Amino acid sequence: MNFIGIIPARYASTRFPGKPLALLGGKTVIERVYEQVAGMLDETVVATDDERIADAVQAFGGKAVMTGTYHRSGTDRCYEAYTIVGHPYDVVVNIQGDEPFISPRQIEAIKACFDDSQTQIATLARPFVPADGLAALENPNSPKVVVNKRGQAMYFSRSVIPFQRNVEKSEWLAGHTYYKHIGLYAYRAEVLREITALPQSSLELAESLEQLRWLENGYTIKVGISDVETIGIDTPEDLAAAERFLARQGGQG
């Protein structure tokens, strides 16, 4: 099978305008993301609606395509970019453009989900551990996923699922394995075309999680398990924390 990685990157972020071009250890955030994943895939492309980002990607030797400004989600932007690239691929991998420390092991894990010929869509999850603490589990900005015995997603929620009846909350993490959703997706190319044509669903609107649209319309989502914690950059404060993390990892990278 062959895989194309597409990295959606918008300039006009509400909380952090220009985020893809912010410097992290002497390189832009988007360059760091690109470098982490490019060698793991048959082709890697940045999908952007801003010429400044496209120019920066081309300056460091990467590939970029210009997409529309009207997309509701990164998934929609991925599909347009895939059609612009024009070469057929079996699987399209949607890589978050604000996670500069994404691990090549995570790319391998999501690719491995397609060893199963029945996989339509794949994503990743990390088990919560007691050391994470209850606050991390209850954080609505950290969606949870329930997985069935076949390794497929049953439901995603910003709430803690399952609720453990007759168990003190302080014991929840010790008594059950909860999974934190990692926002890395991969889709068979024909499935990506189909899901981008779907209208928003009631579950999606309720939780503000687009993957619920796919489940509600009967698609299956394979969940690969990863022990790697991701570090996303949503705000300038997150960028400062990422600088500290990079320094602990040994500097400029």
8 A C-beta contact, residue 49 and residue 66: yes
The structure tokens listed for 69 are: 């400004």
Query: Which amino acid type is present at position 120?
Result: Q
Give me the architecture of the 109-182+194-229 domain, per CATH.
Answer: Alpha-Beta Complex (3.90)
CB atoms under 10 Å from CB of 31, counted, come to 22
DSSP class of residue 45?
E
Distance between alpha carbon 125 and the CA centroid of its chain, in Å?
A: 10
pLDDT of 145 higher than 90: yes
pLDDT band with cut points at 50, 70 and 90 for residue 148: very high
Higher pLDDT, 253 or 240: 240
Given a cut of 80, whether residue 251 has pLDDT beyond it is no
Task: Work out the average pLDDT over 122-141.
Answer: 96
Rounded percentage of the chain residues whose pLDDT exceeds 70: 99
CA distance 225 to 141: 20
Q: Is 114 exposed, middle or buried (0-12, 13-18, 19+ CB in 10 A)?
A: buried
- Assign domain 1-102 to its CATH architecture: Alpha-Beta Complex (3.90)
- Helical H segments across 29-133, by residue range: 29-37, 51-59, 74-85, 104-112
Instruction: Identify whether the C-beta of residue 60 lies closer than 8 Å to the C-beta of residue 34.
Output: yes
Domain with CATH 3.90.550.10 in the chain: 1-102, 109-182+194-229
The pLDDT of residue 13 is above 90 = no
